[in-house]
């Protein structure tokens, strides 16, 4: 019996060292060597202070900032430990109520907004952590932010245009704007 257990235990220990220690250490070292920003969490640093990750949405609620997509995480928004959608289907009345409530909140924040409310400002992403919004969602908010900051709308439109990223490799996805980066640039306007 011992002759059967010894090779199994030896193989278990070797594979644990190889797949549990050596492989993760090698991949981490390669990631830090070739992609240091991404390996460190894609942190956005202003001055000497990290203000957030470019990969995880932030909870901006102040009218003088651009707001991101709603978060489906709970108990707090944009909680990476609770990543996941709400799992509410398109015919679920709870989803319709949530979307209606979000539309009402956006209209209350800017009753004279000249554009229709974009879908990505009232629906959460699949992860609930999406850091990006569409250019339409950013343009929808320009009127409110211009009034709150006493900045001409044209300056905000230029800022949005400068921060709009196109499709990946010109093919995949849709144009998008990272909300954290946009808000950091917005604070730098003054």
pLDDT, tens digit only, all 190 positions of the chain:
778 899 999 999 999 999 999 999 999 999 999 998 888 888 888 888 988 888 888 889 899 999 999 887 777 788 777 777 667 778 888 888 988 999 999 998 888 887 889 999 998 887 778 899 999 999 999 999 999 999 999 999 999 999 999 888 888 989 999 999 999 999 988 6
Secondary structure (3-state) at 135: helix
Angle formed by the axes of helices 153-162 and 179-187, nearest 10°: 130
State the pTM of this model.
0.80
Separation between Cα atoms, residue 147 and residue 116, nearest integer Å? 18
Please report the beta strands in the chain, taking only residues with DSSP state E, as ranges in sequence order. 43-46, 49-53, 132-133, 164-165, 176-178
Q: Scanning the structure block, which residue is given the tokens 């946009």?
A: 182
With vertex at residue 39, the alpha carbon angle to CA 37 and CA 45, rounded to the nearest 5 degrees, is: 35
């Amino acid at each position: 019996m011992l002759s059967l257990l010894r090779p199994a235990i030896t193989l278990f220990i070797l594979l644990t060292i190889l797949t549990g220690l050596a492989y993760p250490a090698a991949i981490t070292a390669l990631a830090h060597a070739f992609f240091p920003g991404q390996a460190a969490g894609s942190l956005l640093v202003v001055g000497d202070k990290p203000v957030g990750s470019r990969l995880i949405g932030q909870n901006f609620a102040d009218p003088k900032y651009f707001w991101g997509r709603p978060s489906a995480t709970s108990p707090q928004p944009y909680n990476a430990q609770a990543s996941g959608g709400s799992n509410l289907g398109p015919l679920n009345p709870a989803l319709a109520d949530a979307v209606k409530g979000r539309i009402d909140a956006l209209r209350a924040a800017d009753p004279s907004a000249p554009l229709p409310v974009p879908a990505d400002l009232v629906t959460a992403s699949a992860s609930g952590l999406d850091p990006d919004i569409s250019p339409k969602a950013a343009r929808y908010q320009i009127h409110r932010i211009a009034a709150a900051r006493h900045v001409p709308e044209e300056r905000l439109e230029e800022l949005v245009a400068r921060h709009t990223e196109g499709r990946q490799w010109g093919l995949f996805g849709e144009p998008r704007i990272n909300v954290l980066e946009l808000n950091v640039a917005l604070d730098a306007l003054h």
